[in-house]
Structure 1
């Protein structure tokens, strides 16, 4: 009987040390941003940060468009294609599988490199989208 009690206490103590998926998402976003952001510009795009928003369970990616991509008219004219491309990339991203399985949301915000207050594209994807 004592062994069963000790086993139960051990299981409880081990599970108490384990972080929730939300805590893990927040930590991973923070670590990624601190270590790798801003990223180098690739295809006229730079990732500025990645943030976990716990109230909506959203992983929010912030990007800046520079060079030829920093063009509001071009973004507006290709909005549907860009939304579809982001959605397909999210579906194919194996690194977010655990978060997708848990029903997290994913948001992508693209700002202008010339005018950082100008949002060129802002899209959110929920479980029904991926």
Structure 2
């Protein structure tokens, strides 16, 4: 009888604990929310402010939101060539980032949105999927 009660108690405890484990996507959403609450807004440099970080579980994408101001909030400076250079730099950062390793291993995409402080419109955006940052990527992985 004591063995049955112990087994039932252990089974109930395991069942209760299993209900409280978060999925990888839930963890991503929580971590993005906590990062935003603790770190944002965050001054990246003289012209760039990080506004927030979000996670979209439907597209499995971490979204980084920034505001450009001053000299960078200008069509002359943020021309097609500058945007292409920024895209290349962001891609290299994703490829080489150790901090993003666990996300990349799960095939998460990364989107970057840069808004104009003056107009509020998107000045630049880029999205990187596993095909963009992992030469060994396989969708079956």
Which of the five TM-score ranges fits, normalised by the shorter chain?
Answer: 0.7 to 0.9
1:13-66 per-position Cα deviation (integer Å, ceiling 9, x unaligned): 544322111000000111111111111251411100111111101100000011
Gaps of 5+ in 2: 134-141
Residue of 31, 42, 45 corresponding to 1:28 = 31
User: Is 1:62 matched up with 2:52?
Assistant: no
* Segment drifting more, 70-79 vs 47-56: 70-79
Q: 2: CA distance between counterparts of 1:4 and 1:104?
A: 40
Give the secondary structure class of the aligned counterpart of 1:75. Answer: coil
Question: What's the C-alpha RMSD, in Å, of the aligned pairs?
Answer: 2.1
User: Is contact 2:53–2:64 with CA below 8 Å preserved after alignment?
Assistant: yes
Which segments of structure 1 move beyond 2 Å, counting only runs of 4 or more?
2-17
Cα pair distance change 1:69/1:32, threshold 3 Å? same
User: Is 1:127 matched up with 2:102?
Assistant: no
Give the secondary structure class of the aligned counterpart of 1:17. Answer: coil
Q: TM-score, normalised by structure 2?
A: 0.79
Gaps of 5+ in 1: none
Q: TM-score, normalised by structure 1?
A: 0.86
**For 1:41-80, what aligned pairs fall within 5 Å after superposition?**
41-76=44-79, 77-80=81-84
- Structure 1 or 2: more helix by fraction: 1
Corresponding position of 1:106: 110
Corresponding position of 2:92: 88
User: Is contact 2:56–2:62 with CA below 8 Å preserved after alignment?
Assistant: yes
Number of equivalences:
129
Indicate the structure (1 or 2) with the bigger Cα radius of gyration.
2
